[in-house]
């Protein structure tokens, strides 16, 4: 019985590890920055395609931010680390909402905020 339980736990933990999750963002969630960042950097635990991204200020106004796309409109923002340029940002609070698809087909949706203080 004990061996069966150990095997079941091992299989369950391997299944959890199969999903690609977020590892790091730059700027970091809730970061307060003295100067505006020039890029967003996403680092995942496995390869993903970033399929959607939105940047908005605290008032809900969207700031133009586009993913690179191929000739048929599919995102080419692919890899474990994805870097996107940012326009010049004024001092205020920003929210980044993003969606990605891992190579195993799982969709990942998340958001984070950061503040530019001056």
Rounded CA separation 84/96 (Å) = 12
Predicted pLDDT of residue 1: 54
For residue 77, pLDDT beyond 80: yes
- 37 near 86, Cβ under 8 Å? yes
Q: Which CATH architecture has domain 21-116?
A: Sandwich (2.60)
Domain ranges of the chain: 21-116
Rounded CA separation 93/38 (Å) = 15
Tokens of 76: 């080419």
The single-letter DSSP state of residue 69 is B
For residue 5, pLDDT beyond 70: no
For residue 38, pLDDT beyond 70: yes
The single-letter DSSP state of residue 97 is E
């Amino acid at each position: 019985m004990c061996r069966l339980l150990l095997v079941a736990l091992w299989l369950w933990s391997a299944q959890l590890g199969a999903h690609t999750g977020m590892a790091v963002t730059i700027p970091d969630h809730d970061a307060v920055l003295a100067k505006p960042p020039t890029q967003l950097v996403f680092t995942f635990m496995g390869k993903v395609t970033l399929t959607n991204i939105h940047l908005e200020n605290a008032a809900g106004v969207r700031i133009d931010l586009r993913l690179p796309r191929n000739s048929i409109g599919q995102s080419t923002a692919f890899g474990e680390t994805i870097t996107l340029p940012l326009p010049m940002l004024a001092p205020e609070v920003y929210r980044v909402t993003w969606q990605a698809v891992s190579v195993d087909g799982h969709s990942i949706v998340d958001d984070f905020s950061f503040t530019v203080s001056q």
